Chain A
Amino acid sequence: MGEVASVAAHTLVIEIGGVPVQVRTDSADFLRMLEGRYSGFLRADAQPVCELDVELVPPGPGSDDDVSVRFDHGHWLIERGDLRAEWDPVSGRASIRQFANPYSIDTALRIIHSLILARQGGLLVHAASAVRNGKAFLFAGVSGAGKTTISRLAPPDATLLTDEISYLRRNGHGYVAHGTPFAGELAKVGENVQAPLAALFLLHQAPENKIQPVSEGEAVRALMESILFFAHDSQLVNKVFESACDLVRRVPVFRLSFVPDHRVWELIA
């Protein structure tokens, strides 16, 4: 009787924003990398809402390409040089072919979460966020505006949710900010905690610390520029826009001009 070759499937569940996603791979090394990268976000007991089957392929050029996200025959297709994912949003199952690097799976997770959130009125925002005194604060801005700086300056009593990608879910009359493992320049994973969103700050580095209110229109324009959404889908794009309008009506938005030192946090409590 001949031997039957078998490859063990390794799985783990990564829960971000209360959304558990199972990742299955044949590679023990890749699994170990995931366990390290998402260590604060692993939930062995959670029932996954999505199941990702990851097939690793040899690396090649093209990971700097723009990502394409489109809906075709009931499936979302996510494509970049280093990544091809096909996700069925009804069954929650996805097959992913990608290079064996963390950025590819990180990209797939960000996009799948952005699609899930969009339907639920939530948002992924290119912003830092932190919890202080039980309240969450979001810091949005273009690259160089100070997301990393304000994260680095956070006092000991502030809990960093992320220095890069903030996760917002609609909850009752407001929004809740969740920690994410999507790290930016600090290369520091956020804490896996959540808190009601108390304010959105639009960051500007300036010679003095100052908080000013902004109009709803300006707030929506700034927020829309910071929202991570890649899909070419008119219904979901409109939904994201409506969520942005809803958020600025429910959450105070301010322009935060700040000097890059710790005193800025005296204004945030």
Chain B
Amino acid sequence: MSAVYIARATTVAARALDGEMMIMSAKDSTLFTLNPVGTAIWQAADGKTPLADIVQQKICAQFDVEPAEALQDAENFVGNLANHGILLVSDEPIAVVKPPAGASQ
């Protein structure tokens, strides 16, 4: 199975408030609040690290969860955020273009 790479979309606004990661999907004006596992995936979505490695290094190492189940949940989560234009998903590493200084991110 080929690796899956994920990157944060550069056009979304995200803020950590009281430890909660909140992300605005401007595509459909939906506000997402991520749980700690989702936040860990979001923060690790650098376009270079395969999703399976993120799950292994960031999720299984920090949370009490079965690896296979964690990967399945992560794939569902990523697919959901990708549908809202919040995450970019590719089977190749994703070059992340940094937004101009002062832009939303």
In Å, the complex CA distance between A217 and B104 comes to: 18
In residues 25-83 of chain B, which contact A (Cβ within 8 Å)? 26-27, 29, 31, 33
In the complex, chain B residues whose CB is within 8 Å of the CB of A237 = 24, 26, 29
Would you list which residues of chain A between 214 and 269 have a CB under 8 Å from chain B? 215-217, 220-221, 224, 229, 233-235, 237-239, 241-242, 245, 248
Which of A216, A224, A229, A248 has a CB less than 8 Å from the CB of B31? A224
> Cα distance A245–B26 when bound, in Å?
15
Q: Contact: A241 with B31, CB < 8 Å?
A: yes
Contact of A238 with B17 in the complex, beta carbons under 8 Å: no
Instruction: Count contacts on A: residues with CB < 8 A to the other chain.
Output: 17
Known contacts A217-B33, A221-B31; decide if A238 and B13 are in contact (CB<8 Å). yes
Interface size classification for chain B: 10 to 19
> What are 29 sample pairs from A and B whose C-beta atoms fall under 8 A apart?
A215-B17, A215-B18, A215-B20, A216-B17, A217-B17, A217-B20, A217-B22, A217-B33, A220-B22, A220-B31, A221-B22, A221-B33, A224-B31, A233-B26, A234-B26, A235-B104, A237-B26, A238-B11, A238-B12, A238-B24, A238-B26, A238-B104, A239-B104, A241-B15, A241-B24, A242-B15, A242-B104, A245-B17, A245-B22
